[in-house]
Every structure is written in structure tokens, then in C-alpha cells.
């Protein structure tokens, strides 16, 4: 059975896929009509004289092709930013949900050798002194009663978030995913290496566009199945946009397949256990620790 975070991940990806498809139907004729509407409204509000010089108009108002290309480019950029954010959202929310349902996994997040920085409290010191591994499972004897004694809703959520951030750290997708799988003690699925390499390229291009990281000897690119090369300064027409869209959607489909297998493995490795019987499960609903995607 797949988890709630995975279902959220799939739903949000479908939203992005439909948005990309809608933009595909924007044409130069639409941009020409919208430009004229802007010009007419500007004249009505006296922001533009009736005898305006077309040469003084913004290039998007003068050139429908440039405006249409910018719509396509903005759509691709938005997909890159949101898809990478969605991947990270899944990793973090998956860990938090599993820790909420399995107390042993929550305890594992407090291991001394991988201690999450800044997490100092009575229960942390108590856990670190008593944490041990028995038959492949991390357990702390008496932890439920100890959590009940020192339980704080805000503190609990803070620890969940801190542990999830710590075990999904990294600049590249492959680094984040590696830490995630190691923490859960699950193997990366077959084909993960190839998918991770493609997603790393997506992350590099996202960073190049979003953070103006111009330190590369050559700008990061992605190449579609038809051989079209996309980089930060690429201009798109309808056909090339369609090509890039299909490539990005296919890449995310690979990520979905990858995470579906990981999700199943994680649920088998860390099934729901006695965590549901302690006050933590009753005090904090799942939605309260979900990180919103904005």
C-alpha cells in the first residue's frame, strides 16, 4: 500500500502536467490579441497616447512571437522549479509520516553518530543513552512513557522537521535520495542510477536559472529524445516547447516509478507499530507536519 505523501506527490505532479499542456495551446494569435487589448486599455486610461509610436512599445507587444516564446519559457522554468521542489517535498514528508507511524524509526533519527544539529533536550539525551539496535530495528526501551512525560506538540513537530531535513540533505537529487534511502535502510531500486543522473541534470539547470550560478564552463543543458538541447537562454516555439514538455514529463514519470518502489520498500521496512498508542499520534495530525508547496 502506498503512503499519503506519495499520493500527494502524484496529485501535485498531475496539476503541473495539465498546466504545461494548457500553455501548449497558447499561440501567436492569442498573444497578438492580448497585446492589442493591453494597448487599447492603455489608451483608455491615458497611459499611452492614441498616436503612439510602435517602436516605443515593449517588444512583447510589438512581437507576438517573442511573447509566445516567453510564455513557453516561463512554463518550462516553472515546471523545473516546482518539480524539484515537489521531489524534495515528498522525501521530507515521507520520512515524517513514517516516523509518526513507527516509533523505532523516530528513535533512529536521534542516533548519536548522525545527531541532528541543534536538537538538545531532555528526551534527546535520554534517547542517545538508551538507543540500541536489536534484530535490525532501532529501539529505545521505555520510550513511549518517556515521550508522554516530556511531550510537547511544537517540540515534536520541530524534531520531525529537523530529522527529515537532515536525512534529505544535499545539493544534487542523487545526494538527497542517497541519504533518504540510507536512513530508511532500503536499497535504491533497479534503474535508480540512470534516473538519478537525469534528475541531477535537471537540478543543475534549475540552479543555473534560479540562482544565476554562472560559474559553469558550459551552461547546464537537458537534451530531449529528439536531440533538442535546452539551456537557460533557449528560445522556444510551439514545436520545441512540446518536445521539452514531453521530455520533462517523461523524466518525472521515471521519478514517480522510482519513488513508488522506494515508498513500498519503506512501508514494508517500517510498518505501523506502537507509535499509534502513544500521545504523539493523538496530538499531531498528519497534515500538521506537511510542508506546503507554494
Q: pLDDT confidence of 273, banded at 50, 70, 90?
A: confident
For 26-40, 62-76, 165-179, 270-284, which range has the lowest pLDDT when averaged over its residues?
270-284
Average pLDDT over residues 165-177: 93
Look at the alpha carbons of 38, 40, 46, 51 in this order and tell me if their dihedral is positive or negative. Answer: positive
What pLDDT digit, counting tens, does each position of 88-137 carry?
Answer: 999 999 999 998 888 778 878 766 444 554 444 444 554 544 444 444 44
pLDDT score, position 214: 59
pLDDT, residue 150, reads 56
Lowest average pLDDT, out of 28-42, 146-160, 162-176, 258-272, goes to 146-160
The sign one gets for the Cα dihedral 245, 249, 250, 251 is: positive
Instruction: Please check whether residue 179 is in contact with residue 168, taking contact to mean a CB–CB distance below 8 angstroms.
Output: yes
- 8 A C-beta contact, residue 144 and residue 104: no
Q: Is the pLDDT of residue 232 over 90?
A: no
Closest to 259 in 3D by CA, of 170, 199, 192, 163: 192
Mean of the per-residue pLDDT values of the chain: 81
pLDDT in tens, 175-231: 999 999 999 999 999 989 999 999 999 999 998 888 765 555 678 899 999 999 998
Task: Tell me what pLDDT residue 211 has.
Answer: 72
The overall pTM is greater than 0.85: no
Q: Check whether 265 has a pLDDT greater than 50.
A: yes
Return the percentage of the chain with pLDDT > 70, whole number. 75
Grid coordinates belonging to 92:
521530507
Check pLDDT > 60 for residue 9. Answer: yes
Nearest in space to 39 (alpha carbons), one of 26, 21, 57: 57
Q: Where are the domains of the chain?
A: 4-101+166-289
Reference 82, options 249, 212, 286, 287; nearest CA is 249
**The pLDDT of residue 136:** 47
Amino acid at each position: 500500500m502506498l503512503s499519503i505523501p506519495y499520493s500527494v506527490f502524484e496529485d501535485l505532479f498531475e496539476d503541473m502536467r495539465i498546466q504545461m499542456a494548457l500553455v501548449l495551446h497558447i499561440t501567436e494569435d492569442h498573444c497578438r490579441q492580448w497585446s492589442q487589448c493591453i494597448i487599447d486599455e492603455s489608451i483608455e486610461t491615458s497611459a499611452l497616447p492614441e498616436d503612439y509610436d510602435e517602436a516605443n512599445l515593449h517588444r512583447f507587444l510589438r512581437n507576438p512571437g517573442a511573447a509566445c516564446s516567453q510564455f513557453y519559457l516561463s512554463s518550462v522554468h516553472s515546471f523545473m522549479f516546482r518539480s524539484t521542489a515537489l521531489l524534495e517535498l515528498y522525501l521530507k514528508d515521507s520520512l515524517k509520516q513514517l516516523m509518526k507511524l513507527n516509533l523505532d524509526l523516530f528513535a533512529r533519527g536521534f542516533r548519536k553518530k548522525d545527531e541532528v544539529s541543534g536538537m538538545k533536550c531532555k528526551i534527546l539525551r535520554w534517547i542517545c543513552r538508551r538507543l540500541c539496535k536489536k534484530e535490525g530495528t532501532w529501539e529505545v526501551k521505555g520510550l513511549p512513557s518517556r515521550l508522554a512525560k516530556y511531550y510537547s506538540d511544537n517540540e515534536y513537530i520541530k524534531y520531525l522537521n529537523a530529522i527529515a531535513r537532515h536525512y534529505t540533505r544535499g545539493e544534487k537529487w542523487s545526494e538527497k535520495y542517497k541519504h533518504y534511502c540510507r536512513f530508511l535502510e532500503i536499497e535504491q531500486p533497479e534503474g535508480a542510477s540512470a534516473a538519478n543522473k537525469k534528475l541531477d541534470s535537471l537540478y543543475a539547470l534549475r540552479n543555473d536559472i534560479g540562482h544565476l550560478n554562472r560559474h559553469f564552463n558550459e551552461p547546464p543543458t537537458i537534451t530531449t529524445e529528439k536531440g533538442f538541447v535546452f539551456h537557460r537562454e533557449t528560445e522556444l516555439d510551439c514545436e520545441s516547447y512540446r518536445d521539452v514538455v514531453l521530455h520533462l514529463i517523461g523524466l518525472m514519470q521515471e521519478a514517480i516509478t522510482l519513488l513508488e518502489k522506494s515508498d513500498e520498500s519503506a512501508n514494508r521496512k517500517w510498518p505501523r507499530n506502537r507509535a499509534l498508542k502513544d500521545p504523539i499520534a493523538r496530538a499531531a495530525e498528519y497534515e500538521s507536519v506537511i510542508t506546503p508547496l507554494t
